[in-house]
Amino acid sequence: MRAAILQLPSIGMGSNKLESYARVAQQKGVKLILLGEYLLNPFFKELIQMPLNMISEQSAHQIETLKALAAKYELTFVAPIVTVKKKECTKMIAKINGRSVTYYPQQFLINYPHWNEEKFFNNPVEAVKPPMIFACEGLKFAVMSGFETHFDPLWQAVDTKMVDVVLVPSASTFESHNRWRELIKTRAFTHNCYILRANRVGEYCDEKHAWKFYGDSMVVSPDGEVEADLGNTEELLIVDLDRKTLTESRKGWGFKEALRKRI
């Protein structure tokens, strides 16, 4: 199966970029496109200053745009989006095809003083549930945000549900480049799955920080090797996901078989 990672900065409602990339992806045989965090909406620090009606209007427009593109080009999009209901914002990840839209509310949100999503968003704090899991072109996918990749219970679901590919949209910044690489490579290896990480690019500056989003979107193999990656500019990465590679990795390392004997 062929998938793609679209590495972009935030895009406005009038942008034609999504269609141009969707057209190229279809021509290359792509069936699924992953977008990074804070692309369909502005970055969090800008978002919290926007009126709620503007956020709602923008998100509704972006979802309708992706639905139309998904139908026109026979694609599935996975993209973070902010929804607004009863004057509360919820941070979601949406799976969009030509027939339906499915939302996954992010379960773990950043809660640091300089970047406190947990305080702003209305996502419930409750017992951990499995991430969004769905099938596409004979492979089983899971979706979790970049921040959620730190938490083991979500990865337990990846094992028990026999997930083949984990999709990780992120908005990583500051000097976290190497840490994120090692985390994603380790998770892919210990769970013998592909990981597709889509990070955004661009910059946001406030009075204290320059938030430089460095890209480095990548696909990591079930053996924990970076198969392909991007730089720090707007790009589209097309990747092939191979069932044979998954089978050989799982058989060779035997992690899942060892686990099954003990469940």
CATH of the domain at 160: 3.60.110.10
Q: How many residues does the chain have?
A: 263
Asked whether 40 and 80 are in contact (CB, 8 A), the reply is yes
- % of the chain beyond a pLDDT of 90: 91
Total of domains in the chain: 1
Under DSSP, is residue 219 helix (H, G, I), strand (E, B) or coil?
strand
- pLDDT (tens digit per residue) in 125-150: 999 999 999 999 999 999 999 999 99
- pLDDT (tens digit per residue) in 9-37: 999 887 789 999 999 999 999 999 999 99
The helix/strand count (H/E) of the chain reads as 8, 16
Residue 77 belongs to what domain range?
2-260
Give residue 199's pLDDT: 98
Q: What pLDDT band is residue 107 in, cutting at 50, 70 and 90?
A: very high
Q: How high is the mean pLDDT of the chain? A: 95
C-alpha torsion sign, points 178, 180, 182, 188: negative
- pLDDT (tens digit per residue) in 60-70: 999 999 999 99
- % of the chain beyond a pLDDT of 70: 100
Q: What is the mean pLDDT of residues 87-115?
A: 96
